[in-house]
Amino acid sequence: MKLFKLFTSLLLVGVLFSCSDEEPIENTSAVEALDLVADLSTYTDSSLGMYKGVFTTADSQDRGTVEIKVINEDVAKASITYLNGVVEYFEGTIREQAGLAIGNEMSIAFYSNTRSSSFVFNVNDNGSNPTITDANSNSKASLITVVKENTRGAVVPLTGSFTTDDMSVTNASGTWSIIFNTGTGEGNDTDITTQTIFNTLDFGSTTGNEQSGCTASSGGGSTSCTVEGMYTSQGVDITWSGTHSYTTVSDCSTSSGTWSTANGLSGTFNTDLSCVFGCEGTLNTFAGVVVDADIFDNQTLTSTATSTSMGTIGVDADIDNVTVDLFHTFTGDLEMTLISPVGTMLDLTSDNGGSGESFTNTVFRDGAPNITTGSAPFTGEFQPEGGTFAATYDGEAIAGNWTLSIFDDAGGDTGTLNSWSIGFCDETIVDNFGSPVDQEDTNRSNEESGLTKIELKRLEKMKSLTQEEIELKRLKHKGLNN
């Protein structure tokens, strides 16, 4: 009976955090020529195209996300991005060319050039029913689930962890992962596929669970949806429900909720990815003017974004984000600095990423992991290397020319600034996803701190502030009101 409880409780809930004993080595040569046609309709009713999904070792000790690119009838590439950020690359051998495909199915054997890792990818000629067999990670048995990214929209794979209310299963381990496949672009039109691993077996539910009630924050910076699903495994009904929240600026997703079984077991689940949800009020974004966009060796490129919003940072608005997109063949050469209208400078990043390429849709935001923890192309959210926007620019005017300075401090590699912008979040803070704070509350002062509730909400949101910075903000507030 105890084994049965262990078995069923983990059919839809996550994985305990752990690290692998040995890290894969990145093989940069294997990612050359990974080009697919941008128009996904090209791959309709075809086995060619992009497939995305989730990976876990059968013992649930390692997990990550998977990308498979079937570029043409001769070339296929794949990669696994582990939770620690390390990427393992695979070369594909299309077995159909050797007459090994069965019926109308394409079969591709993928092998890592750096470790004893491999898997076999099978898919129908029309792109349906993609499956993975014989998967292993450094000779450790593994399981992979993928779906095809097509004209329905983006595929977002997320790995996760679990808790259970039953103390008898606290030492059990398993994997719970979820894949969102958006449809028309509206959040409610979304297919959900789950992968559940326990005791080396895959008990994942089928695609078709529901996402509904998607509501955008008033500032448009994030969206929250209700997600739920149910299926039967080992004769037991499993149900789960929760939220799927995602950001607009950095395209970051996270999900959490609760699960239960028909025989009384229950618990919670959370995905691994952590998102910093930005402006929940009105977000005013100003794009930088990019004219001479080339980044040359040992030279500085500057670009200006002109803010027309009025007021003071820390009183009327905060800097929500600075978003940068640029190409460069050696990011370790670059020093990026944000300069305010009065000349205050903040080091966004300095010589990070080594020989990696580019900053692709890089979002600098207070509270995110420091940029020094990332790797090229730095897609996602990161806190500036030199500190927080809140502490650096507190009390300065919002209006004026904000400058992005990019200095290439070495020879041999060049690049191009594609775009950048700066976003300010106004004083109207809203509660989670769209409920405005009572305006009377924003005018009432907290007797102990001297801060209004709205400022306390902001301070609570910016957890990266030190106690000294909070005290400085309190003193500045008192000075403005005396």
Looking at residue 477, what is its pLDDT? 42
> 52-61, 268-277, 304-313, 406-415: which range is least confident on average?
268-277
Q: How confident is the model at residue 448 (pLDDT cuts 50, 70, 90)?
A: very low
Looking at residue 37, what is its pLDDT? 54
Looking at residue 184, what is its pLDDT? 54
pLDDT: which is higher, 158 or 122: 122
Mean pLDDT along residues 265-292: 80
Q: How confident is the model at residue 212 (pLDDT cuts 50, 70, 90)?
A: confident
Looking at residue 142, what is its pLDDT? 92
Q: pLDDT tens digit string along 352-378? A: 988 888 998 899 998 888 999 888 889
Looking at residue 482, what is its pLDDT? 43
Looking at residue 122, what is its pLDDT? 94
Q: What is the pTM of this model?
A: 0.59
Q: How confident is the model at residue 433 (pLDDT cuts 50, 70, 90)?
A: very low
Mean pLDDT along residues 457-465: 46
> 263-267, 304-308, 455-459, 477-481: which range is least confident on average?
477-481
Q: What percent of the chain has pLDDT over 70?
A: 69
Q: What percent of the chain has pLDDT over 90?
A: 29
pLDDT: which is higher, 41 or 399: 399
pLDDT: which is higher, 162 or 62: 62
Domains of the chain, earliest start first: 17-271 (no CATH), 276-482 (2.60.120.260)
Q: How confident is the model at residue 396 (pLDDT cuts 50, 70, 90)?
A: very high
| Average pLDDT over all residues of the chain | 75
Looking at residue 368, what is its pLDDT? 83
pLDDT score of 322 more than 50 = yes
Looking at residue 206, what is its pLDDT? 65
Distances in Å between the Cα of 481 and the Cα atoms of 102, 367, 476 are: 77, 28, 9
Please, what's the b/e burial string for 333-365 (b: 16 or more CB within 10 A of its CB; e: otherwise)? bbbbbbbbbeeeebebbbebbeebbbbebbbbb
Can you tell me the distance from the alpha carbon of 237 to that of 235, in angstroms, rounded to the nearest whole number? Answer: 7
Q: pLDDT tens digit string along 65-79? A: 999 999 888 889 999
Looking at residue 67, what is its pLDDT? 93
Looking at residue 10, what is its pLDDT? 33
Q: pLDDT tens digit string along 327-360? A: 998 889 899 999 999 999 999 999 998 888 899 8
Looking at residue 156, what is its pLDDT? 84
Q: If you average pLDDT over each of 59-63, 136-140, 150-154, 236-240, which comes out highest? A: 136-140
Looking at residue 251, what is its pLDDT? 66
